[in-house]
Amino acid sequence: MPLILALDTSSEWCGVALLHDDEVLAAMSVARAAGFAGHSEHVLAMVAEVLQRAGRPLADVAAIAFGAGPGAFTGLRVACAVTQGLALGLGCPVVPVDCLAAMALECAVKAGEPSSEVLIVQDARMAEVYVGRYRFDGRALACVEAPFLIGAAALVAQCSSDKADILGGSALLVAPALAALARSTTATDHPDAAFIGRLGAIGLAQGDAVAAKDAAPIYVRDRVALTIDERVRGVRLPA
């Protein structure tokens, strides 16, 4: 397998990892108190440090995987832009990775179950959550329901009779009632760059890579602006 560089800035956490043959050579994950804008100031330095830890030059990187979303608008744009810049310089392909799928894989691996259905619920603010449902058979992860946006209360009503085996995601911190949607929960609340890299390697092998110029975030939520009335009422969109 080629050397894979993985980036994720879809949440308040900024993560970078370097993988080869499914082995994590080096990884860093840091919560940035300065917010999503701070990711752009630090992610390149983190890339350099991860490469130094692994003893590999940037020129050895054969592909770059990045957390494409869903997640914070600003964070997704940072990861995509940095990935495009690096990939254009290297002339290497890019693999956009579903952030919720990476979290589902991490949850399944942590649970250690031979087969499980994983529900990921990420806080999307405005009383809404990003949701994705996945199945892990002990070797591979399959998407059962692609990421979508829904109100937290509506999700509880919709899925109360269709429980998953494992539930993960940051939405549990703001909507504890979501815990009733699964048999067990995990503390996984943000995408790990190492799992972004693992899915990126799979995507590369399956032909899912794209040219750097064609890389794009997966927003899921289409709204990026408020109405005048919403501004007056103090409503805020996610960063």
CB count, 10 Å around CB of 7? 30
Instruction: Supply the pLDDT for residue 195.
Output: 98
Compare 224 and 9 and report the one with higher pLDDT: 9
Query: How many CB atoms within 10 Å of residue 39?
Result: 28
> Rounded to whole angstroms, how far apart are CA atoms 98 and 190?
12
Domain boundaries, the chain: 4-99+191-232, 100-185
pLDDT at residue 34, rounded to an integer: 54
Is the pLDDT at 200 greater than 70? The verdict is yes
Distances (CA, A) of 27 to 40, 81, 102, 158, 236: 17, 20, 15, 38, 33
Q: What is the mean pLDDT of the chain?
A: 90
What mean pLDDT is predicted for residues 58-64?
Answer: 98
CATH number given to 4-99+191-232: 3.30.420.40
Q: Give the other-Cβ count within 10 Å of 108's Cβ.
A: 25
State residue 123 phi and psi, 5-degree precision. -60, 125
Please say if the pLDDT value at position 238 is more than 80.
Answer: no
Q: What is the pTM of this model?
A: 0.91
How buried is residue 56: exposed, middle or buried, by Cβ count under 10 Å (0-12/13-18/19+)? middle
Mean pLDDT lowest among 20-29, 73-82, 155-164, 202-211: 155-164
Cβ–Cβ < 8 Å for 71, 124: no
- Token digits of residue 133: 């449902």
The token duo for 59 is 């020129």
CATH level 3 topology of 100-185: Nucleotidyltransferase; domain 5 (3.30.420)
H-helix or E-strand containing 96?
strand 94-98
227: pLDDT strictly greater than 80:
no
Among the listed residues 133, 114, 125, 123, the one whose alpha carbon sits nearest the alpha carbon of residue 181: 133
Tell me if residue 224 falls in helix, strand or coil.
coil
Mean pLDDT, residues 131-145: 95
List CB contacts of 91: < 8 A, sequence separation 6 or more. Answer: none
Fold agreement between 4-99+191-232 and 100-185:
yes
The pLDDT score that the predictor gives to residue 226 is 47
Q: Whole-angstrom Cα distance, residue 140 to residue 160?
A: 26
